[in-house]
Amino acid sequence: MTLIDETPIATGSERPDVHAWVAQVAELTQPARVVWCDGSGAERHRLIAMGVRKGTLEPLPEPHYGSYLVRSAPDDVARVEDRTVIATTDPDDAGPTNNWRDPVDLEAELVELFEGSMRGRTMWVVPFSMGPVGGPISQLGVQVTDSLYAVLSMGTMTRVGAAARELVEAGAPWVPAVHSVGYPLTDEFGQQVREDVPWPSSDTKLIAHFPESRQIWSYGSGYGGNALLGKKCFALRIASAMGRDQGWLAEHMLLVRVTTPEGKQHHVAGAFPSACGKTNFAMMTPSLPGWKIETLGDDIVWMRRDSEGRLRAINPEAGFFGVAPGTSEATNPAAHQMLWGNTIFTNCAQTADGDVWWEGLTPTPPQGLTDWRGEPWSPESGKPAAHPNARFTVAAEQCPTLADSWDDPEGVVVDAVLFGGRRATTVPLVAQARDWAHGVFLGATMASEKTAAAEGTVGEVRRDPFAMLPFTGYNAADHWGHWLSQGEQLGEHAPALFSVNWFRKDDDGGFLWPGFGDNSRVLEWVVARLEGRVDAVDTPAGLVPRAEDLTTADLGLAEGVLEQLLTADPAEYAREADGVEELFAGFGDRLPQAMRDQLAELRSRTAGDGGTA
């Protein structure tokens, strides 16, 4: 049985009839029933009632009106990067940072996995739009899934419903996405072989992407980006390849509107690795009087040049799939306030009165907690009560800092892009790129500590180019080349590029910078640079603020701290260059010459003094 059309899809080409495709997937997976989703409120209520009866959803008490707690299987709690693959005809098109698979071999494996995988289950068909339906930057998809959790979450995270379905049925381009938890309930003769469970999943997990034919097949996991295929799979891995081919950008970024006390508006995008402060930044409450930050998106940004040559951006999602631990009224009041109701909480702890709790929500844990596995918990348990990757899924419209133009199909003009990793040393608080090529170099070489959202050792530092290491659907070096070409085409309309680092530490391991709302002080300097009102010091890191140009007098920083925050030590950057050279070596001839030139420039600057720009 042929599942994957190996012919690369040309720009603007049309898909086969969606009903024929659904019938083909149903023939393979053999569900008991097929249900088309309409995205209505009535449908959501029916699905929630079904989830409560099944035991997947546990209703929460006030104050979380209409909210539910979900506990996943203990082995299905995060992305599975080692089982996330990119299938391309040429292995070099996937590149060294992706797990490459041959499309023909992968198709054979998928046929074996998906054959009968939905027996005894419902196959839901979810037509959806990433971005406002019909918008110039938006894209369409259709996900089929046997996961109730995935259907409910896709209804929050994307625009599901009749409008998207009508465009797909009319022949508009769309991305097919097939998902199964791999937990059939009956055999091939219709005889029940096992009971259903609240969180079905499989020991075998495989998340497969075909960027050439724009298809996604995900098996075995019901969690997060493994199952909500409009998110990382479509909006980043497949969309990044679409952007390369069609001349736009799909990036792992937040998007905010910054309004100065004088009423001037600027739009800023920012690339930050998962659980590294993106949501806090996207919903920031500025500590500077008169400044306003409004949320446009917290995770994914699509950017395309408009008719005037400017870079316009949308948030293609319709909701937030945020990391719960660390979120509180103190750290992120907007996020905390938007969770008042209509929210699905996943793998959080539960209080004695049935409410949700996670580390950081309150200074001390309440008595009588049940952990994310459903087991009694106390501080003596020696493990977190909530899973470190516990999540909340909530509609964007509940965010109190949401900008009024967040769902404008035309998007907003991007004035600046920030690249922010988690570095205890070396990288200064903020630095502006000298030019576009240097900015691409900053994005390509950013590094961050691993987080609970990805498998691996928490705290280990790894290079994370553009915060896209797990998400670029093609060769990362070609991604950098694509950014370079976008800069050439944007010319004078190109946004300014900056690096930021909120996480620099002192010798005792304490953070030097207070972060959170005080990051608005860095944005104040970024805006001043955009408006040409301040100079900067040229360092190996780029153009760094003069101390007097940052508003910090009221922060009470200890003597020498600001100087340390703004230091880009040549000796440390010489070592940084060694790490960059090691990264670049893996890309061979695919590495753009401009990146080699930037590395040579960095090595040159580590031996000299800076100046003023």
Superfamily of domain 320-398: Phosphoenolpyruvate Carboxykinase, domain 2 (2.170.8.10)
Contacts of 604 (CB under 8 A, 6+ apart): none
Q: Does residue 14 register a pLDDT over 80?
A: no
Q: What is the mean pLDDT of residues 555-572?
A: 96
Percent of the chain with pLDDT over 70: 94
pLDDT score at 275: 61
| pLDDT tens-digit readout, 108-156 | 999 999 999 999 999 999 999 999 999 999 999 999 999 999 999 999 9
**98 phi and psi angles, rounded to 5 deg:** -110, 160
Q: In angstroms, what CA-CA distances link 383 with 296, 375, 525?
A: 35, 12, 41
- pTM for this model (two decimals): 0.95
pLDDT score at 2: 56
How far is Cα 76 from Cα 199, in angstroms, rounded to an integer?
Answer: 9
Query: Do 250-318+405-612 and 320-398 fold alike per CATH?
Result: no
Q: Does residue 608 register a pLDDT over 80?
A: no
pLDDT score at 450: 58
pLDDT, averaged across the chain:
94
Domain ranges for the chain: 18-57+79-247, 250-318+405-612, 320-398
What the block records as the tokens of 422 is 């988690």
pLDDT score at 460: 59
Q: How many CB atoms lie within 10 A of CB 91?
A: 15
| pLDDT tens-digit readout, 176-214 | 999 999 999 999 999 999 999 999 999 999 999 999 999
Bridge-based pairing of strands 344-346 and 68-70 is parallel
Q: What is the mean pLDDT of residues 497-512?
A: 94
Bridge-based pairing of strands 430-432 and 496-500 is antiparallel
> In the CATH hierarchy, which top-level class contains the domain 18-57+79-247?
alpha beta
What is the dotted CATH code of the domain comprising 250-318+405-612? Answer: 3.90.228.20
Would you call 348 a catalytic residue per the annotation?
no
| pLDDT tens-digit readout, 307-345 | 999 999 999 999 999 999 999 999 899 999 999 999 999
What the block records as the tokens of 277 is 């402060």
| pLDDT tens-digit readout, 31-70 | 999 999 999 999 999 999 999 999 999 999 988 999 999 9
Q: Of 256, 225, 215, which Cα lies nearest the Cα of 8? A: 215
The residue annotated as part of the active site, out of 37, 233, 276, 348, is: 276
